[in-house]
Each structure stands twice: as structure tokens, then as C-alpha cells.
Amino acid sequence: MWRSGKPYEELRELSLDLRLSAYEATCHAAVDGLYGGTASVNGDGELTGQLAAELADGLANLTHLTRLELGEAGSVPHPDWRVRLLASLARLPRLAELTWPRLECDAAASRALATCSSLTALSVEKFRAPGPLAAVTLAAAATAGGTPASPADGNAAADGAVGAPGLSITAPTGVAVARMAAAGAGQEAREAAPAAADVDSAAAGCHPMLLPLPPNLRRLTARYSGLGGVSIAALAALQLPPGLEQLQLRNPKLEIGDTDVQQPAGTRLLPVAALALGLGLAKLATHCPGLHTLRVINESRQRNALAAPVGWARDSGGGGGGAGGGHAPWLSALSGLRSLRRLTLSGLQLGKVDAEALARCATGLEELYLVPLGSVSSAAVPVLRGMGLRRLVLPYERHA
């Protein structure tokens, strides 16, 4: 590895295809072949760690480097050496652009990258939620200007109806997020509510359930190259710096997963999942103003059409039957996506009030796909048809 020298120190751009993990695996295989699988190479991961440390020391000499691309694998869980390598990039005073196409950013990787104050452009594979949905969402809500209610506040009525908000949110989602937060005061959310000190740290952007980013970042790209999309918990946890000008999701798909639905039946969206959806859509509205296409897909293993959290249909003004639905609070957050033209909502139960929220908040929409596995009440269908869409695809199943 280089240590010094003018030709290297004056480099402006560098692309490295490291393959350190593959190198370590090859070394272990060779040693196992020699010693019958009983020997190791300087301990588990130690050889690669030494190489990564030398690489970090060598990179530190490139004080003029402005752009770096790394071809190393980056899937989770991250070995310690990879996190240390990321943290070492903070030693490059002029590094403005980092591209690591296969890097999956979990909490450790994000915290390491957040120390790189010179970075203005970052391109990675994806972001991973740093913890359970409820803890992540409530921490994210705190950064949006809210504080969680204590379990003694009694915000939920005795009969289980939604009462006063358990979180007071001042965010672009406005009334919609406040209504979602009201349902978030339920038992499942309260059990995961952070302590007051945790709320203060969340508001400061340093909560362990959040994904921080470099403070001066202007452009962020997440490839999501496979079939999977963005988990709603990961999007809620993502702490986008105020100066960010562009967030590019190559695969604009929000995934509702197993941990986002009420178990074991898997027929209803959790309150904190709906809150996470609203917070995530608000972020997209702020940082993806040109977003043209969006898919919200129920990927839970039960594949049921999801009803809204308990009590939300009534709280949204729908009541029972086909008028309700209860997804209207988080659907209202679509109002910030003014360039949205094509929307897919898959695996949701939608009622008339939900359809009215779509008609009211997605005014620029041209195509709406409610398939597969969706369910639309007969009362909602005329509202949807009245939106003047160029293309409307309804599910085969309709609930009255």
C-alpha cells in the first residue's frame, strides 16, 4: 500500500475494486485446505482488517482527493473493518463525492458516514432500519417536532377509540400526521416510547434509532437495485440534512412488511406503520419534488388487503361499512408530491373517505393502480372514477 509520494497525493479521483471480503474468504479456504479446516488466518476477519487499516492510512495521504468510488461488497452485517474504513474517510478534507454501489447503510455505517463533513454527494445501495418499527418511528417523530405522550396521559379513550394526539407533530404533513400520531398513542407504540432523554437526543439527530448522514450532503442516491424497495421504517429513520437538494430513489417503492402489520392475522396496518408512512411521504415531498412515480406495496407474507389501524376509520370521518377505510390520514401526505403522476397502492383496503383523500390530495395524478391484492369498497369506486384519471385499475375484489 502506498504511504506517500507526490503522484499519489495529488490524485483528484480514485476508483478501487477492493474485493477484500473475497480475498479473506480465499485465504481462509486455502488455509483450511492445508490444515484440514482447523487453522485460521490471524483470527476471524483480522487479515482483512489489517488490509483495510493500511488502505485507510494510504487514503489519508490523498489530501486532494475529491471523488472516491469503492467496488467492495457492502451487505450487512458489516465487519468492524468496513465501519472503520468508512469512518476513516473523514480524514480526507476535500472528499466531496463517495460512490459505494453495493453498500447497505445500517446504523453503524450511517454514523460513520455522518462524520464526513466534506461530503456533498453520496451514492449507496440501500438503507436498513436501525431497530424495531415503533422505536424508530417515535424517534423520527421527535425530530419532526413532537414529543411522545407518557403512558399515564390517557390519550386513548377507555373504549379503544382514538383520543387526543399522543404525539404533537409540526411537519409538512400537518393535520394528517397529527391524526396518525393520535392513534400512535396505542399500547404497542407506548411500550416502545423512548424516555425523555432519548427524545432530546432524537431531536438533536443523534438517537440510536435514527440514520444520520453527512451534515453538508447535497445529493443522495439510493440504488435499491433488486426487487425490494424502501422499508417504511428505514425511510422514517433517515435523517436528511437541511441542505439536501436531491434525493434519488432508483426504485421508488415503499414496502409494508411483516413487522408493519398486526400479527398473527396480518389483516391490519399498525398505527406506528401508518405514522411512518406519513413521515416518509413528507420527506419525499420535501426532497423529491420531481417524483413522478411511486408504489406503496404490501409485502407482508399473509398478502391480505390491509385495513387501517383500529378506530382510524371512525376518526377519519368514515365510520363503518364502505364509507370508512381509515388510510386517509397518511394518504393525505401525498399532497406534498405535486409532480406525482403515477401511483400504485397494493394490498390495502380503501373506503370512500380514503378515495376522497386521494382525490383531494393527489390532484396531479394521471394513473392509479390499486392492484394486486387490493380491496376497494363500492362506495369508493364513483369517487375514484370521478378523479378524471387517464388510467384507473381497480382490484377484482370489492367490499361493500
Whether residue 218 is predicted with pLDDT greater than 90 in this model: the reply is yes
Whether residue 233 is predicted with pLDDT greater than 80 in this model: the reply is yes
- Residues 201 and 357: beta-carbon distance below 8 Å: no
pLDDT in tens, 297-356: 999 998 889 999 987 876 555 555 556 678 999 999 999 999 999 999 999 999 999 999
Is the residue at 3 inside a domain? yes
What is the pLDDT, as a whole number, of residue 51? 78
Whether residue 14 is predicted with pLDDT greater than 60 in this model: the reply is yes
What is the pLDDT, as a whole number, of residue 280? 95
Whether residue 141 is predicted with pLDDT greater than 60 in this model: the reply is yes
- Residues 325 and 352: beta-carbon distance below 8 Å: yes
Whether residue 262 is predicted with pLDDT greater than 80 in this model: the reply is yes
Question: Higher pLDDT residue, 182 or 369?
Answer: 369
Residue length of the chain = 400
Is the residue at 73 inside a domain? yes
In angstroms, what is the C-alpha Rg of the chain? Answer: 24
Q: How far apart are CA 123 and CA 159, in angstroms?
A: 48
Peptide bond into 264 cis (omega under 30): yes
* Model confidence band, residue 11 (pLDDT cutoffs 50, 70, 90): confident
Of the chain, the percentage scoring pLDDT greater than 90 comes to 53
Query: Which of 209, 205, 214, 204 has its CA nearest to residue 244?
Result: 214
- pTM for this model (two decimals): 0.79
In which domain, by residue range, is 36 found? 1-102
Whether residue 30 is predicted with pLDDT greater than 90 in this model: the reply is no
Is the residue at 367 inside a domain? no
**Mean pLDDT score of the chain, rounded to an integer?**
78
196-224 mean pLDDT: 76
Is the residue at 4 inside a domain? yes
Please count the structural domains in the chain.
1
Residues 6+ apart with CB under 8 A from 174: none
Is the residue at 119 inside a domain? no
Question: Higher pLDDT residue, 42 or 17?
Answer: 17
Question: Higher pLDDT residue, 105 or 22?
Answer: 105
What is the pLDDT, as a whole number, of residue 42? 43
pLDDT in tens, 67-118: 999 987 888 898 888 898 899 999 999 999 999 999 999 999 999 999 999 9
* Model confidence band, residue 25 (pLDDT cutoffs 50, 70, 90): low
Is the residue at 363 inside a domain? no
Q: Which residue, chain included where needed, has cell 467492495? A: 72
Question: Higher pLDDT residue, 219 or 78?
Answer: 219
Question: Higher pLDDT residue, 77 or 200?
Answer: 77
Is the residue at 75 inside a domain? yes
What is the pLDDT, as a whole number, of residue 56? 80
What is the pLDDT, as a whole number, of residue 373? 84
Is the residue at 133 inside a domain? no
From 172-181, 196-205, 284-293, 362-371, the region with the lowest mean pLDDT: 172-181
pLDDT in tens, 172-196: 333 334 344 444 434 444 444 444 4
